[in-house]
Amino acid sequence: MRPEHATTQRPEADDLSRVFKALASDTRRAMLDSLREGPRSTGDIVMQFPGLSRFAVMQHLKVLGRARLVVSRKEGRVRLHFLNVVPIQQVHERWVTRYESLWAGALTNLKRRAEVATARRRAVHPPLPGDSPTSRGARG
């Protein structure tokens, strides 16, 4: 019998959870930034992070790989890591675009309210002859 509070997640939700987990680390985000410039070998990435052991870098790459943010390929004795932007695009589509219209509406409403308040203030305090637009705000 399943508890009532348990939720079943869709596979897509699990994928997004892995992406968010991977992006939660400053170090992993820095690794992704490095990979934006092009593929890098594990050794190259280790050299970019002198404060981390090779094992720690490999663990970070493993988390990025599980989130599909990094795709790795072995070429001879060298393992190359490539940035995969698809999961980031999916996060953008799922979270950013869904809420950007709300923000745009809120900002438009704020602008409208500020314009109305400015118009009311000007109606109550009309500009004096010789007033410049910048000196009016100081009189407020």
In a domain, 27, yes or no: yes
CATH number for position 31: 1.10.10.10
CA dihedral 43, 47, 50, 52 (to 10 degrees): -20
Residues 22 and 74 in one domain: yes
Q: Per the structure, how many domains does the chain have?
A: 2
In a domain, 37, yes or no: yes
What pTM does this model have?
0.64
pLDDT in tens, 113-133: 888 888 888 888 777 777 665
Residues 78 and 91 in one domain: no
Residues 99 and 50 in one domain: no
Residues 75 and 94 in one domain: no
Residues 44 and 59 in one domain: yes
Residues 27 and 80 in one domain: yes
Residues 54 and 118 in one domain: no
Structural tokens at position 57: 């870098």
Q: How confident is the model at residue 44 (pLDDT cuts 50, 70, 90)?
A: very high
| Whole-number Å distance between alpha carbons of 102 and 108 | 10
**Which residues form the domain of 104?**
85-125
